[in-house]
Amino acid sequence: MSGLKFAEVEDTLKRIQGYNGVIGTIVVNGEGIPIRTTLDNSTTVQYVGLLHQLILKARSTVRDIDPQNDLTFLRIRSKKHEIIVAPDKEFLMIVIQNPAE
Amino acid sequence: MPPKRPKSRGSSGTSKNKGKDNAKIPAPDEGAPESGHPEYIFPLVLTSATQELFGCRADEDVTGENPYKLLKKEDMIQDMKTRAAVSDFSPVKQTVLEYPEDELLLVFDRDFTYGQGFYLVLTVEAKENMLKSPVQGDDEELMEDEEVEEEEEEDMIVPRTPEPHLWVSLGSEQEVEDESVTESRPRLRCKISPVMRLCGAPVCFSDRSAVDGKEPECPSYEDKSFSIRRMERHTAVQASGDTRHSSTQTLWKFPKNMWTQYKPREFSPEEKEDQLRSEHLKNFLTSVLMRFEISLQQNLIMDVFSDDWAGLSEEDLSAGRAEAQLKEYQSFMDLHFSREKSISQLHWHPTISGVIAVAMMERLSIEERIDNSTKLLLNPSYILFWSFTDPINPQLQLECPEDVLCFQFCPSDPNIIVGGCFNGQVVLWDISAHVERLQDTRSGSEHISNKPDQNNAIPVVRYCAVSGIENGHKAQITDIQWLPETFEVSRLGIPVENPSRLSVQMVTCAPDCCLLFWDLRPPRVVSQSLTDVKQKSEDKPLENPHGVPNTFKHLNLTWKPFIRVSLPKIVSSGEYSPLKFSFRDNTVDYVTADKLPQEAEREEGCGFAQLRVPSAKQQKPLENICTKLYVGTEDGEVVYTDWKMEKDNDSGRLFSAKPTHQFSSHHSLVNTVSRSPFFKDIILTVASYSFAIWKEGVMSGPILMSTCSKVMSTVGHWSLSRPAVFFIGKEDGNVEIWDLLQNTREPSQTQNISTASITCIKTSSSSGKHHLLAVSDHIGTLHILQIPWTLRKSSSNERQNVRKYFEKEEERLEYFEKRQEKQKKEMEAQQLRKKTEPVVPLKQDEELEAEALKGYEQFLALEKVILKNMGLLTETEDQSDL
């Protein structure tokens, strides 16, 4: 049973990674420790460390304005890439994409 | 005096009683507010036994109205004896014994005025008083009651002033007497007189100042005989708060270097696996997937953040504008020096904007030169420096020994100019002394007015070094180029590290079939000449006439090339005669920092004299340098060769290898071989009637070959701002502008610049505001043209597009080659097949007959068998058939 679930998880991650232009995918647990990544270790750790704090800040911002609201999605568009982050109670998922030229 | 007062009161009370009437009789009770009791009264407690004994039972024998009881003294003593300490009278034992009379008065104190139930009157007088008064008092008490009642009624009546009584002494004068001071004894008189004999004696007075302090004092001292104790004392007291000591210390904060090191937390692989398998993760991913897909697809579909407005402007430009002509900006023509001369080459000054150097050449053929040789000697040729500020007079003149066909500024020092002459000599100039003048010309007419002398006389700079005639080329030098400062070439042609980062070497080529490598530095071999050079440079600074700087004194007339690259033909014997060449501009990254020279070494001019050719061992060979050259020859061939020398094992001499490739694409002499400034491996070769674009590495042919043009092309030049544009100068004075992205068959524009043929085209690289094109023609005029916006501004994709175009062309070539090969193979296969057909041997007739017979027999046998099986064949038929 767990094997099946594992396969599903893998499939989902592969699906996202397979999109055109996606550079990397990172799955992080609630404390900010990466669980699964397609990038190299140093880059992963750097991304996770920085984005974790940003998510906390963004979430607190949203909730300060309206306590019943919550952060669902964060997209950061930079000159070179787009960083997409989806937070959750326990996990965090980060995808870095190179958008259409 | 307390003991007397109640008495007086009592007496006054009694006197008042005597006085009758209104005054309220103070009962002896009035003594009660006093704390103590009078001396003559002693409060007693009498027990009931004692009361019975003495007959003074409370409320029976003695009552409030009749409280007095006389007791016999003897009885009391008797009682005291019998009952000793227990007796009630024991406290007053002494008094009783001393009592003069026989009877003592006991008073029943009903109201406890003196604190006890009874009291004993101790003195006779008091007894008598008491007895008398109560006697009267009894009577008067009754009267009192009545009078009280009467008084109450009489309150309403107006009180009458009391009548004065005679003063009765009650003992108060005693106090007065006590307080008054009277003489208790007569006063004592004493008379003191000095001794008689001292009177009248002479006296001696002296002064004594008061400051000294030795005044006759009579200090007080404490008398030992008695001591007075001070009972009262006046003292002032002040209350103040507690004092507290406290201290504080500030911390001196100063900046301190601190560092910390951290390591990110990571999961071990097992933990990761566990996490991945968790249900939560799966739920999370399924919930989150949708959002991701939406956003990822959005990004792919359209770039939301692209700036269309900015992109719009570029597209507009490339659509073709009317103002695409080259506008004439300025033209330079010198009357003195440019007459009957043509410009052989021109260069923009690399650092000073607005300054162009132009080499003038006689417009004479070889025979004419020989005829007019004497005239030519008197009329030297020059390289002129023109500046935009002065269109009439050139700023500088460089004297040349012969006509200079080509020259170059040194890339590391723009004051060094090297030129190749008509007679094969290489010439060097150093214009560091005059470079200020060139720079001043930019500022305008102010400087010119300050120096009127110089205005008229254009400075003539003589060449500071020239190569020996026998060492140089045997024909006119048609191309000269500096090697970049990143590397230098050793004697073997191997590129080695250049520690000084100065361009010190150059390459020349001439139609005498060789390329020569020259070095600016003095050769290392002869040590004597070095010391000579040193001495000369130290002792005599001004040695050369005409103020020529000493920069290249060591080279003058002795300069020799150190490598000679010959170009033997590949297939046949003979050699190629190069006209122009181009090598790859290799940049080298030096990894080790200590190899970088200090800035101080990069001195202008003088640095060259101090450079020495390093020994071959010290030089470190560089690996990534491409040592190959493209050479355009006189016969229209493009030769690809390597300049590295090889050693002939037998003779030990160095010789150059045969070129690797040669292409006879052009059928006329190649007048330009130039690399694209944008792509390092794209080369443009322009021949008289065609041009071609080559890519280094593609050895099958040019990737682009133009059609034959009607008018002869004389020169070609890449545009420095647009990767797809290049200029071609024609014999009729036209300049063709080719845009590879628009049309490859014909130029996008043609513009007529002058009536004579164009000799050189150069774009300025450091002109700032204007993008200028310098075009020189055969009659000696230098035209400066402005490049319009379309030709100057490259679109963002242009480079990519051009690269793609070249790649496509390359692919086309490859495909073409492959097709050719295929075709060839097919041809060969066909031929092979044709050849192999007659090889099959002819079988002979006899053999054929025998084979046929055999076959027939087999057939008969087979027929027999079948018929037998079918049961149709009888033996007789079988026999008969055979």
Give the whole-angstrom CA distance, residue B384 versus residue B388.
Answer: 13
> Where are the alpha helices (H) located in B502-583, listed in sequence order?
527-539
Average pLDDT value for residue range B332-361: 81
Instruction: Give the model's pLDDT for residue B20.
Output: 45
Q: Which residue of A has its CA nearest to B277?
A: A6
pLDDT digits (tens, 9 = 90+) for B202-238: 878 888 777 766 666 778 887 777 777 888 888 888 8
CB atoms within 10 A of CB B794: 20
User: Could you report the predicted ipTM of this complex, rounded to two decimals?
Assistant: 0.84
B2 pLDDT band (50/70/90 cuts)? very low
Instruction: Give the model's pLDDT for residue B538.
Output: 42
> Where are the alpha helices (H) located in B197-302, listed in sequence order?
269-277, 279-301
In this complex, do A35 and B281 lie within 8 Å of one another by their Cβ atoms? yes
More confident residue, B192 or B840: B192
Q: Residue for token digits 């039972």?
A: B57
What letter does residue B448 receive in the DSSP assignment? H
Mutate to test the interface with A, among B263, B270, B276 (most CBs of A within 10 A): B276
pLDDT digits (tens, 9 = 90+) for B603-612: 333 445 556 6
Highest mean pLDDT among A78-92, B606-620, B788-802: A78-92
In this complex, do A93 and B285 lie within 8 Å of one another by their Cβ atoms? yes
Of A6, A84, A90, Cβ closest to residue B295 = A84
CB pairs under 8 A between A and B: 92
Chain B closest-CA separation from residue A45 CA (Å): 7
Provide CB contacts within 8 A for B635, sequence distance 6+.
Answer: B576, B577, B664, B669
Distance set, CA B751 to CA A79, B325, B785 (Å): 43, 8, 11
What the block records as the tokens of B24 is: 């309220």
Against a cut of 0.90, is the pTM above it? no
Average pLDDT value for residue range B328-341: 77
Instruction: Give the model's pLDDT for residue B856.
Output: 93
Mutate to test the interface with B, among A16, A25, A43, A52 (most CBs of B within 10 A): A16
Q: Which residue of A has its CA nearest to B299?
A: A99
In this complex, do B264 and A36 lie within 8 Å of one another by their Cβ atoms? no
Average pLDDT value for residue range B308-327: 63
Q: Residue for token digits 């390359």?
A: B810
B103-108 and B41-44 as β-strands: parallel, antiparallel, unpaired? unpaired
CB within 8 Å of chain B, chain A residues 14-73: 15-16, 19-22, 27, 29, 31-36, 41, 45, 48-49, 72-73
Asked if A99 has any chain B CB less than 8 Å from its own CB, the reply is yes
In this complex, do A35 and B291 lie within 8 Å of one another by their Cβ atoms? no
Provide the sign of the torsion angle of the four alpha carbons B446, B451, B456, B457, taken in this order: negative
Residues of chain B contacting residue A32, judged by C-beta atoms under 8 Å apart? 265
Chain A closest-CA separation from residue B310 CA (Å): 15
Average pLDDT value for residue range B260-273: 84
B56 pLDDT band (50/70/90 cuts)? low
Chain A closest-CA separation from residue B270 CA (Å): 10
What letter does residue B441 receive in the DSSP assignment? G
The answer to whether residue B841 scores a pLDDT higher than 80 is no
Mutate to test the interface with A, among B272, B290, B292, B302 (most CBs of A within 10 A): B292
Q: Coil, strand, or helix at residue B726?
A: strand
The answer to whether residue A4 scores a pLDDT higher than 50 is yes
What the block records as the tokens of B856 is: 């027939």
Rounded to the nearest 10°, the torsion over CA B8, B13, B18, B22 is 140
Average pLDDT value for residue range B22-36: 43
Asked if A4 has any chain B CB less than 8 Å from its own CB, the reply is no
Give the whole-angstrom CA distance, residue B285 versus residue B267.
Answer: 20
Asked if B281 has any chain A CB less than 8 Å from its own CB, the reply is yes
Instruction: Give the model's pLDDT for residue B298.
Output: 85
